[in-house]
Amino acid sequence: MEQVLKQQKSDPAIAEILAGYRLPPSIPFGTELAPVMFRADYRGGRWQAGGLVPFGPVAVNPASTALQFAQQAFEGMKAYRAGGGRPVLFRPNLNWRRFARSAQRLRMPAVPAALFADALSSVASSLARFIPAGRGQSLYLRPTLFGLDAHFAVKGSDNFAFVLIASPSDAYYSKPIRVMVERINCRAAAGGTGAEKVGGNYGASLLASENCVAHGFDQPLWLDPASRKNIEELSAMNFMAVIDGGLHTPALSGSLLEGVTRSSLITLAQRQGIETTERVMPVDELLRDIKTGRCTELFACGTGAIVAPIGTIGEADGTKFELPQVNRMSSQLRDALLDIQQGKAEDPFGWVVDATDLNGLTRYIEAGVSR
């Protein structure tokens, strides 16, 4: 915090921007962009020191590898306002590790733990007073890395920009969503980048998502790209089902994203004595389990929505199955998770970390997988 305050003092432009900033009366999830961001560049084979800059468009060459070849990766995380107005982060070590994996897959230099921590700490601390403190409200954080070099040959950049942008956001309360089994298109390829958080995966999902809305659903439910028989995930959330009272979720297949929320809910469910199973989940078997009543509840989970109950699952031909239970286990798990994230319950797993203590945050992130 001290360092950030010093930085703000030493940069009157940033201090002035923050002094003049007001939260708008309504802050739907992910629409309001905070007035400052963090930027650091990779040049000459090394990361340069970064710092807070005014939020605004960045100059990108139209021939850059980011735009031409989608040499890009990003993360999605949240800072919450804990007791006393302190911003806290939730398991940032997992986002850092995933960000590094995504960078490596796209042949980009990983952002070092200390730089990642500096970005998080600078942005969350400087915006602390703009983090809304209501239930489920947060400062959504979007670390983004992209290639800057301009050339038409299919090869990567040598120069990169890392930016961390932020969005003060209201809780994302979705009414139960309707998912359509997507049997034609895939969001990821076998051997592709589905397990990484890179823009190309999302671009590949857009047309099918629109098609799904035209069929009266909200989102596609993606199947595995090799056999198109097994459930993978939604476009920005992992998938969970309650079957015979236990929690089932698709095992990590190499083409679906290992969600921080997914992993946290599995741990919380186990702590509540719920049996959890990560396995191959054939979609036709799941539909049979819904028909016979073995499967009683479906939901999706991710940083943005935390938990989104699924009320209906169906097909492009108009077949629809309604779930007998909506929001039973899902609301129980959502509450348990939010209570820890917002400091309302004990944090037995050491998942929450103070964003204002840069050294502590760097050590926490460097500890990597051990938490």
Q: Does 330 bind ligand PLP (CB under 6 A)?
A: no
* Binding test (CB under 6 A) with ligand PLP, winner from 238, 249, 255, 330: 238
Angle formed at CA 114 by CA 110 and CA 116, multiple of 5 degrees:
60
Residue closer to ligand PLP by CB (options 237, 358) is 237
C-alpha closest to that of 326 among 313, 339, 341: 313
Answer yes or no: are the C-beta atoms of 75 and 236 closer than 8 Å.
no
Contact flag: residue 259 with ligand PLP (CB under 6 A)? yes
Residue type, 123: V
Among 113, 236, 326, 353, binds ligand PLP (CB under 6 A): 236
Among 8, 261, 296, 342, binds ligand PLP (CB under 6 A): 261
- Residue 329 CA to residue 178 CA, distance in Å, equals 18
For ligand PLP, which residue of 93, 193, 249, 303 counts as binding (CB under 6 A)? 303
Least separation in angstroms between CB 356 and ligand PLP = 23
128 with 87: CB under 8 angstroms? yes
Q: Which residue has the tokens 């030493």?
A: 10
Asked whether the beta carbons of 160 and 41 are under 8 A apart, the reply is yes
When asked if residue 198 is in the footprint of ligand PLP (CB under 6 A), the reply is: no
Figure out which of the listed residues 100, 113, 240, 260 binds ligand PLP, where binding follows CB under 6 A. 260
The span of 6-14, 51-59, 150-158, 230-238 binding ligand PLP (CB under 6 A) equals 230-238
How would you classify the pairing of strands 138-147 and 77-81?
antiparallel
Assess 233 for contact with ligand PLP (CB under 6 A).
yes
Instruction: Name the β-bridge partners of 301.
Output: 238, 307
Q: Are 308 and 299 in contact (CB under 8 A)?
A: yes
Q: Pick the stretch among 46-54, 63-71, 252-260, 357-365 that binds ligand PLP (CB under 6 A).
A: 252-260
- Listed ranges 41-49, 57-65, 144-152, 229-237: which one lies at the site for ligand PLP (CB under 6 A): 229-237
Read off the DSSP letter of residue 132.
-
Q: Tell me which stretch binds ligand PLP (CB under 6 A): 174-182, 233-241, 287-295, 360-368.
A: 233-241
Handedness of CA 210, 214, 219, 221 (dihedral sign): negative
* Binding positions for ligand PLP, rule: CB under 6 A: 76, 233, 236-238, 257, 259-262, 302-303
